[in-house]
Amino acid sequence: MLETRAPRHYRWEDMTAEKLKGSITRRLITGDSMMIAEVRLAKGEIVPKHAHHNEQLTYITSGALKFALGDDGDHEVVVRAGEVLVIPSNVSHSAEALEDTIDIDVFSPPRADWLDGSDAYLRG
């Protein structure tokens, strides 16, 4: 017999916003094999260079982030409202908020470091 799981419904506004470094906040919703996060950054905030084995989709709903991609950060791309950036597994990246920004990130599998609080690069 197959195990069935009940669907779960969430509202972002009901989720607690976790305070990270500077003005950065995030809210998380996790399924069995993926995670979605709402990340808010004020203009000028920096997400330091990091990499992870999780595949990442970054969808900007408002504002803009400038990403530096690759080990040397030599590939830059600005992602604006209505645009999506796909970051493959293990690709180094950093980001700078060019405006006050709301970013929706989807990860597969879920980010264990975000769940257990070992994501020191965002907690400085």
pLDDT tens digits along 107-121? 999 999 999 999 999
Separation of alpha carbons 96 and 28, rounded Å: 21
For the domain made up of 34-119, the CATH class stated in words is mainly beta
User: What value does the mean pLDDT take over residues 61-86?
Assistant: 97
Give 79's pLDDT tier (boundaries 50, 70, 90). Answer: very high
User: What value does the mean pLDDT take over residues 43-54?
Assistant: 97
| Per-residue pLDDT at 42 exceeds 90 | yes
| Per-residue pLDDT at 81 exceeds 80 | yes
Q: Name the residue with tokens 């669907």.
A: 7
User: What value does the mean pLDDT take over residues 1-10?
Assistant: 79
Please report the pLDDT score of residue 78 as a whole number. Answer: 98
Please report the pLDDT score of residue 5 as a whole number. Answer: 81
Q: Three-state SS across 63-112? A: CEEEEEECCCCCEEEEEECCCEEEECCCCCEEEEECCCEEEEEEEECCCH
| Per-residue pLDDT at 85 exceeds 80 | yes
| Per-residue pLDDT at 2 exceeds 60 | no
Q: Is the pTM of this model over 0.85?
A: yes
Please report the pLDDT score of residue 124 as a whole number. Answer: 78
| Per-residue pLDDT at 38 exceeds 80 | yes
Separation of alpha carbons 113 and 124, rounded Å: 15
